[in-house]
Amino acid sequence: MGDDITDTETDPTEEAVGFRSGFACFVGRPNAGKSTLTNALVGDKIAITSSKPQTTRHAIRGLVHTPDAQLVLVDTPGLHRPRNTLGERLNDLVRATWTDVDTVAMCFPSDQKVGPGDKYLVKELAGLRRKPVLAVATKTDLVSPDRLAQHLMAIHAAGEEAGLRWQDIVPVSAVDGSQVELLRDLLIATLPQGSPLYPDGQLTDEPAETLVAEVIREAALEGVRDELPHSLAVVVDEIVPREDRPEGKPLTDVRVNVYVERDSQKGIIIGKQGVRLREIGATSRRQIEKILGVPVYLDLHVKVAKDWQRDPKQLRKLGF
Ligand SMILES: Nc1nc2c(ncn2[C@@H]2O[C@H](COP(=O)(O)OP(=O)(O)OP(=O)(O)O)[C@@H](O)[C@H]2O)c(=O)[nH]1
């Protein structure tokens, strides 16, 4: 019996053959479901999601680990018609991301017709020579099979019209999980062979500051409509363990500034007698403690940076 042991041992060099690793990103109009799909694939909540468009400002990476592959997902903001300096920078960021990744997947929400905005994007993608481009019909749980069939044909036609051959067209629902694994496997199939890029089990390589900022941004946007999402920037000044704490009772100070463009917006964030700001603090502190793994004292301030979206100097200061 003991003689068989060497036969069952795997040779690490052989195991590396066939392993695939690389980068993919989702593109698509605002609200197409890109962040939700990233979360469904990663299996943990990393990217910010919201029912309001254009909340994902940073290229957030989620890692998908399987026994024979590692897929790094880069979540980009939606490409849109630039209206100001911030809009132009976001679009540049999107294009730069497309060039860097191994695969691009374009999301088409099934509850919306394929429109001029989508076709504009498809045409842009057709310019990416030799890069596999997948089409993903998202939110399939919201539509009937008939409507879905029409949607898939429209996606196919949009590709043909722009001279783009989809690598695959995959219907998925991030909400009920249908076909999420299939999409994962199809994305992995497009990756080059290579060893893992990150340690096993890691979900994101975003610095803690970015994750903390995203959590606060999400909490601050909760329940407020209008143009506020575009006027809000969160900057984490510092995350420092407090000194001289009693044994076994660590506390970390997290100092954060929330920037808005106008005094009226400051009022919205703070709320009557500071009620909203306290809620934002309480909600995000619980999540920050999970991210950092220690009890946290959250020092949250709201400041006005007049018209920061139009001012290149302020944009730089706020990290754009
Ligand atoms: N029913 C249903 N809703 C979904 C699904 N995927 C996303 N949604 C919802 O659609 C809205 C937009 O989803 P996001 O993932 O934030 O969309 P996004 O493309 O990342 O949006 P931006 O960050 O604005 O570019 C949210 O309200 C989601 O809950 C899905 O599979 N089914």
pLDDT digits (tens, 9 = 90+) for 282-306: 999 988 887 777 889 999 999 988 8
Q: Structurally, what CATH architecture does the domain formed by 2-189 represent? A: 3-Layer(aba) Sandwich (3.40)
Q: Which CATH number fits domain 208-317: 3.30.300.20, 3.30.450.40, 3.40.190.290, 3.40.710.10?
A: 3.30.300.20
30 is in an annotated binding site: yes
Contact indicator for 301, 258 with CB cutoff of 8 Å = yes
**Helices 180-189/34-42 angle, 10° precision:** 90
- Three-state SS for 95? helix
Q: Is the pLDDT of residue 143 over 60?
A: yes
pTM of the model: 0.64
Q: Whose CA is nearest to atom 3 of ligand 1?
A: 139
| Nearest-angstrom CA–CA distance, 224 and 269 | 9
Q: Whose CA is nearest to atom 16 of ligand 1?
A: 49
Q: Whose CA is nearest to atom 2 of ligand 1?
A: 139
Q: What is the pLDDT of residue 82?
A: 60
Q: What is the mean pLDDT of residues 179-185?
A: 96
Contact indicator for 310, 87 with CB cutoff of 8 Å = no
Q: Which one is predicted more confidently, 51 or 316?
A: 316
pLDDT tens by residue, 183-237: 999 999 999 998 877 666 556 666 778 888 888 988 898 877 565 666 788 888 8
Contact indicator for 174, 180 with CB cutoff of 8 Å = yes
Q: Which one is predicted more confidently, 171 or 3?
A: 171
Domain ranges of the chain: 2-189, 208-317
Q: Which atom of ligand 1 is found nearest the CA of 172?
A: 31
Q: What is the pLDDT of residue 200?
A: 61
Neighbours of 122 (CB within 10 A): 24
Interval between CA 74 and ligand 1 midpoint (Å): 16
Q: Is the pLDDT of residue 55 over 60?
A: no
62 is in an annotated binding site: no
Interval between CA 127 and ligand 1 midpoint (Å): 26
77 is in an annotated binding site: yes
Q: Which atom of ligand 1 is found nearest the CA of 48?
A: 16
The percent of residues in the chain predicted with pLDDT above 70, rounded, is 75
Range of 94-108, 118-132, 136-150 with top mean pLDDT: 136-150
Pocket of ligand 1 from Cβ distances under 6 Å: 28, 30-36, 49-51, 53-56, 77-78, 138-139, 141-142, 173-175
